[in-house]
Copies of this chain bind each other. A is one copy, B any other.
Amino acid sequence: MCIGTFLYRFVVMNRPESIFNPQLSVDCVIFGFDGKHLKVLLAERCEGIDGSAEQKKFKLPGDLIHLKEDLDLAAGRILHELTGLSSIFLKQFSVFGDPERIPDNDDRKWLEKTSGVKIDRVVTTAYYSLIKIDKSNTDQETGNHASWHKITTLPPLIFDHKKIIMTGLEVLRKEIRFEPICFELLPAKFTVRQIQTLYEVILGQELDNRNFRKKLLKAPYIKQLTEKQQGVAHKPALFYRFDRKQYLESRRDILFYNF
C-alpha cells in the first residue's frame, strides 16, 4: 500500500462522509508469465475481522473508487499502487453486478471495517492486465502482501473473486486467438519457444513446434535479433522482438469472418 492509499484510508476511518463511493469498485486480474506457468497476482487479506485467528484468504487487487474517479483511471491507480508500474495493458472485461455477490458474512464485515463505510451492494468492474514476471516483481513477491499464484492452483478467495479470475481467463483465451496480446507477457527479447509455451499454457493445449514456428515467423512484426541465448545445455535459440509499429500497420484492412 503506497502512501497515497494509506492517507486515503486514514481519512476514511476518521471522517463520517467517505471519499469513496461505497457502491462501485474495480478489481484487477493481473496475469503474469514466468516462462513456465500462467500466474495471477493476488493480495492477501491481511486484516482480520477481530484480529484473532482467522482464515487466510486472498483477494484480487482492487478498491472502491473515489467519488468522482473514472473507472479506467481507478484500475490504473490500483495497478500502480501495487506494482509501481504504469501505462500497462489494462482492459475492462466484465461487470459483476449480482446484488448478493458480497455475502452477508465475515467477508462483508471485513470490507466494512477496512473501507470505513457501510457496504450495501457493490458493483465491481473487472479489468485484466498482462505483465512480464521478472526480478523486479518476483524476488520479493512484489511486496505489499501480494504474490503470484498459478491459475491452476488458486488459494481460497473472498467474494466472487474466483469467478472473476475465471471469467478473465476465458476472455484472455478468446483474445489471444486473434490478437497477439501475449507479447505483453513476454520480455522485450524472447525466443520462439517462450511464445509457444505461453500459448500452450493459455490455450491449455500442446502445439507442434515446427508448425508454430512457421506461422509465427511469417508475421511481419516479429523481428529476429542477432543475439543468441546463452548458457543453455543445447543449441542456443535466437532472440526475437515484437515490433508494435509493424503490428499496427499489418492490422489495417484485414477482413475476416468465419462460420
User: Which A residues contact B (CB, under 8 angstroms)?
Assistant: 21, 23-24, 65, 67-72, 92, 94-95, 97-99, 120-121, 123, 125, 176-178, 180, 199, 203, 205, 215-216, 218-219, 222, 255-259
Contact = CB atoms under 8 A, between A and B. Distances in A.
B176 A257 contact: yes
A97 B121 contact: no
Given A23-B24, A67-B121, A71-B123, 11 more contacts: A21-B23, A24-B24, A71-B95, A92-B94, A95-B125, A177-B258, A178-B258, A180-B259, A215-B259, A219-B259, A222-B259
Contacts of A215: 259
* Oligomeric state, in copies: 2
A97 B68 contact: no
B123 A98 contact: no
A125 B94 CA distance: 9
A49 B120 CA distance: 32
A118 to B, nearest CB: 14
A177 B179 CA distance: 13
Nearest to A179: B258
27 contacts: A23-B23, A24-B24, A24-B97, A24-B123, A67-B99, A68-B121, A69-B99, A70-B97, A70-B98, A70-B99, A71-B95, A71-B97, A71-B98, A92-B94, A95-B125, A97-B125, A123-B123, A123-B125, A176-B257, A177-B178, A177-B256, A177-B257, A177-B258, A178-B258, A203-B255, A215-B259, A216-B259
A110 B215 CA distance: 56
Contacts of A218: 259
A58 to B, nearest CB: 25
Contacts of A177: 178, 256-258
Contacts of A120: 67
Given A255-B205, A258-B177, A99 B68 contact: yes
Contact of A95 (B21, B95, B257): B95
Contacts of A70: 97-99
A88 to B, nearest CB: 19
Nearest to A99: B68
A178 B177 CA distance: 10
Contacts of A222: 259
Contacts of A257: 176-177, 199, 203
